[in-house]
């Protein structure tokens, strides 16, 4: 289990991560989402000991990453696939990591096969790898020590469609065998398909966390009208706060019957009125992070 408790990290007085707490549990895939600059990478870097927290803590089964005796055997990490030594071959990178962890050399070939890097590709220097090949090599390195926890920043980055599906199956299988997976991604469809739990961060703070099903079910009501601003205003006057998305939809925690009654009383014709359940992760993500979106997609 990964436990992040009251984690704060500031840079020059500004909080990149602000009092963040969540857990990623064994047997579950936890998706970590947020807009650009929300604090995902900073959080993951603190979890794996690359960045020191300003306050708070991050532990893996109660132990700080830096205090794990043989971290690669316990936690597989892929934060930046381009951080590998560009002058080494893929096979060398894995062989060095295997030796450091005290693993037999045979493990290298097993991992290369698992991530579908051919022997010829494994002999090439990493500087000549495509992004997707680097990503596959990074996943091989993360899995090398047969860890029980995986921490991945944008693992699907650069993978082709078949590669994305392969990654999805691999992570689902890993969690199915009792492993803990924490992954960040901007690919909401991927997260929607793969994650059991979600942690959503915006502006350095957690804006939602919990089981995916529950979060998506609690998404409230979605209404559309030719006059969305008037609808949002009428809802506000009725004491029902709402958010207005750039696609013209109005979302509120109130139930559909209340929204319909307000619209009727205000003389506003609705073109759509339904429970937002099933509206999907993208809608939920955009409305939860509206205040911290650069594009102001939801005002
Ligand atoms: N080393 C650093 N020095 C100064 N500021 C930093 C540093 N690292 C991160 N930040 C700032 O912290 C904030 C959070 O950045 P972070 O990389 O954690 O976001 P992110 O959610 O991973 O974003 P993205 O989706 O764009 O990858 C940003 O405002 C960023 O500029």
Could you read off the pLDDT of 225-240 as tens digits, one per residue?
Answer: 999 999 999 999 999 9
List, in sequence order, the alpha helices (H) in 102-227.
106-114, 119-122, 131-143, 161-176, 188-194, 212-217
Which residues, including other chains, have CB under 8 Å from residue 62's CB and lie 6 or more apart?
Answer: 3
* Nearest protein Cα to ligand 1, atom 10: 16
pLDDT value of position 298: 46
* Nearest protein Cα to ligand 1, atom 7: 11
* Nearest protein Cα to ligand 1, atom 26: 36
What's the rounded mean pLDDT across residues 82-111?
A: 91
**3-state DSSP call for residue 286?**
helix
pTM of the complete model: 0.80
What's the rounded mean pLDDT across residues 57-71?
A: 94
pLDDT at 85 over 90: no
Which of 273, 177, 284 minimizes the C-alpha distance to 225?
273
* Nearest protein Cα to ligand 1, atom 12: 16
Which of 119, 161, 99, 169 minimizes the C-alpha distance to 139?
169
Mutation probe of ligand 1 site: the residue of 9, 20, 42 with most atoms within 8 A of C-beta: 42
Write out the E strands in 175-280. Answer: 180-184, 197-202, 205-211, 221-225, 242-244, 249-252, 270-275
ipTM score assigned to the predicted complex: 0.96
Percent of the chain with pLDDT over 90: 68
Ligand 1 atom closest to the CA of 186, numbered from 1: 25
pLDDT value of position 296: 58
Mutation probe of ligand 1 site: the residue of 41, 45, 51, 185 with most atoms within 8 A of C-beta: 41
pLDDT tens digits along 184-219: 988 888 888 899 999 999 889 998 899 988 877 666
pLDDT at 278 over 60: no
Tell me, in angstroms, the distance from the centre of ligand 1 to residue 139's CA: 23
In this prediction, residue 299 has a pLDDT band, given cuts at 50, 70 and 90, of: very low
* Binding pocket residue ranges, ligand 1, CB within 6 Å: 11, 16, 34, 36-42
The answer to whether the CB of 231 falls within 8 A of the CB of 264 is no
pLDDT value of position 148: 96
55-60 β-sheet, strand order: 14-24, 2-11, 55-60
pLDDT value of position 128: 93
Ligand 1 atom closest to the CA of 38, numbered from 1: 21
- Domains in the chain, ordered, with CATH? 2-211 (3.40.50.300), 220-276 (3.30.70)
- State the average pLDDT for the chain: 90
Q: Rounded distance, CA 65 to CA 8, Å?
A: 17
* Nearest protein Cα to ligand 1, atom 27: 36
pLDDT at 7 over 70: yes
pLDDT value of position 84: 79
Phi, psi of 75 (to 5 degrees): -135, 120
């Amino acid at each position: 289990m990964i436990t992040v408790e009251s984690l704060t990290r500031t840079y020059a007085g500004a909080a990149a991560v602000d009092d963040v707490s969540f857990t990623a549990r064994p047997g579950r895939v936890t998706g970590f989402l947020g807009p650009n600059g929300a604090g995902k990478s900073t959080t993951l870097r603190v979890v794996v000991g690359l960045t020191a927290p300003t306050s708070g803590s991050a532990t893996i089964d109660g132990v700080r990453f830096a205090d794990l005796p043989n971290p690669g055997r316990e936690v597989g990490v892929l934060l930046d696939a381009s951080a590998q030594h560009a002058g080494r071959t893929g096979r060398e990178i894995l062989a060095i990591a295997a030796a450091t962890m005290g693993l037999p050399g045979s493990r290298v070939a097993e991992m290369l096969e698992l991530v579908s890097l051919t022997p010829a590709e494994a002999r090439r220097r990493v500087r000549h790898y495509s992004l997707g090949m680097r990503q596959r090599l990074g996943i091989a390195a993360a899995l090398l020590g047969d860890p029980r926890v995986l921490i991945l920043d944008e693992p699907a980055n650069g993978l082709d469609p078949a590669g994305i599906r392969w990654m999805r199956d691999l992570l689902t299988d890993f969690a199915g065998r009792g492993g803990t997976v924490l992954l960040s991604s901007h690919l909401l469809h991927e997260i929607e398909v793969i994650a059991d739990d979600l942690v959503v961060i915006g502006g350095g703070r957690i804006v939602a966390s919990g089981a995916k099903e529950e979060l998506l079910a609690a998404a409230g009501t979605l209404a559309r009208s030719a006059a969305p601003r008037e609808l949002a205003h009428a809802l506000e006057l009725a004491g029902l706060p709402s958010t207005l998305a750039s696609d013209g939809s109005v979302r509120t925690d109130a139930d559909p019957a209340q929204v319909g009654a307000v619209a009727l009383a205000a003389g506003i014709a609705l073109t759509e009125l339904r429970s937002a359940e099933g509206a999907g992760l993208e809608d939920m993500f955009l409305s939860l992070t509206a205040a911290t979106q650069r594009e102001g997609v939801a005002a």
